[in-house]
Amino acid sequence: MRAADSTFSQGSPLLAAPHRTLFFTGLASLLAASAWWGLHLVARSTGAPVFALSLQPAPIWAHAYLMLFAVFPTMFFGFLFTVFPRWMNGPLVTRTEYLATASLFAAGTLLWLAGTFAGPVLLLPACLATGAGLLVGTAALFRVLLAAPQVVSHAVVVLVGLCVQCVALAGFAYGLAESNDFALHFAVRASLWGGLLPVFFAVCHRMVPFFSQGVIPGYVPWRPTWVLVAVVGLAYLRLLLGTAGALAALPVVDLRSSC
């Protein structure tokens, strides 16, 4: 580490590592979203404050955006920026990349919370800020992948999931701009089943055996690739079936993915 970096890190411990910066940003977003939702629930019960009842998007969409596009992705990047280079012995994510990602996600959350009362004038810029954070973070991981001496399947699944998340966010912004309920429903399903779930499962598939090996004597890591492919494939199948309206087939897919 360079001397300037060391001094900067010592003066700003939250900015010294990507997981600190992104986890703090994600936690702050979660607390802010929880306070906003709590205020709305109080207003529903008591009628006051009146402004908390005048939400521009329906509460279901406001809540979905905060959880699926603001809070969870911020936390995910905090972990991925740390482990992604280690999976493939690739270059580290730079301070500029992780600070830019955190700043854009934080701006997106603040704009969205204000926009739920102000309307599209802030809601669409919130989507742009969050989308920019998602693109910066995804591009940083792509850079690590391209410069790494080896590629692992978990990294590929993660990047595909993040790309789907970008598409889902674009669809959500379109749904808001056009008041298109189908686009909003599709964006939420795409984010959950095509974006966040594959990323979460890929990380668990990779890291749970690793952590278990450190605490369970004699444990032999077991992470067959076919399990990763099967679960992620079923998640995308569920997304396609749900989008096509084949709701009767969803319980079968859910049952197989949980086996």
* Structure-model confidence comparison of residues 38 and 210, the more confident one: 38
Digit-coded pLDDT (tens) for 138-186: 999 999 999 999 999 999 999 999 999 999 999 999 999 999 999 999 9
| Helices assigned H by DSSP within the chain | 3-11, 18-46, 59-65, 72-88, 95-118, 120-147, 153-178, 181-189, 197-215, 225-244, 250-258
* Predicted pLDDT at 199: 97
Digit-coded pLDDT (tens) for 74-106: 999 999 999 999 999 999 999 999 999 999 999
Name the pLDDT band for 256 (thresholds 50, 70, 90).
low
Ramachandran quadrant class, 163 (left: phi over 0; alpha: psi -120 to 50; beta: rest): alpha
* Predicted pLDDT at 242: 80
**How far apart are the C-alpha atoms of 15 and 256, rounded to whole Å?**
42
Q: Is the pLDDT of residue 247 over 70?
A: no
Residue 24 CA: distances (Å) to CA of 14, 105, 197:
8, 12, 22
**How far apart are the C-alpha atoms of 90 and 94, rounded to whole Å?**
12
Least confident of 119-123, 192-196, 239-243: 239-243
**How far apart are the C-alpha atoms of 119 and 107, rounded to whole Å?**
16
Q: Is the pLDDT of residue 1 over 60?
A: no
User: What is the rounded average pLDDT of the residues 199-226?
Assistant: 86
In 10 A of CB 4, how many CB atoms?
8
| Furthest CA-CA distance within the chain | 61
Domain ranges of the chain: 14-151
Task: Tell me the CATH number of domain 14-151, given options 1.20.120, 2.60.40, 2.40.50, 1.10.3680.
Answer: 1.20.120
* Predicted pLDDT at 7: 38
**How far apart are the C-alpha atoms of 111 and 28, rounded to whole Å?**
14
Read off the pTM: 0.88
